[in-house]
Structure 1
């Protein structure tokens, strides 16, 4: 069961999408705590040095869907080994 789930959908320009990805990229590059602008608010998360990644592309008759999923453990490093 998930403790928290947030989904925000909206239309945006190519430049707005690029800005959103650039902000996420900067947060990933610097690590530590990152504040992500999600809709009307901000979400602060800890980003560790190691992540799992999944990229999925679906192509249909009139639409292309690109999903980039990043996952990481919230357990402390000592807890993750047990």
Structure 2
């Protein structure tokens, strides 16, 4: 069972998506506390110095999907 799960789907311009990814990259680069703006609220995460990353690309049904997933231990 998951302790917490949050998912958000929305349409953004390419520039807005780039801004969100840049903000996340800057937070990862400069410290271990990451603040993500999620619509009207914020999500604060503590991320350790080492993470696992998975990058997945799927093509089909007239769409392309790029998924970037970061994982780390919480203990």
**CA offset at residue 43 of structure 1?**
0.6
| CA distance in structure 1 between the aligned counterparts of 2:2 and 2:12, rounded to whole angstroms | 28
**CA offset at residue 61 of structure 1?**
4.0
**CA offset at residue 74 of structure 1?**
1.2
User: Residue 9 of structure 1 corresponds to which residue in structure 2?
Assistant: 9
Which of 29-38 and 44-53 deviates more? 29-38
For residues 1-82 of structure 1, what are the structure 2 equivalents within 5 Å? 1-75=1-75
**CA offset at residue 18 of structure 1?**
0.3
Q: Structure 1: any 5+ residue segments left out of the alignment?
A: 76-82
**CA offset at residue 11 of structure 1?**
0.5
Number of equivalences: 75
Q: Structure 2: any 5+ residue segments left out of the alignment?
A: none
Q: Report if aligned partners of 1:8, 1:39 keep a CA contact under 8 Å in 2.
A: no
User: Residue 80 of structure 1 corresponds to which residue in structure 2?
Assistant: none
TM-score by length of 2: 0.93
| CA distance in structure 1 between the aligned counterparts of 2:43 and 2:64, rounded to whole angstroms | 28
- CA RMSD for the aligned pairs? 0.9
Greater C-alpha radius of gyration:
1
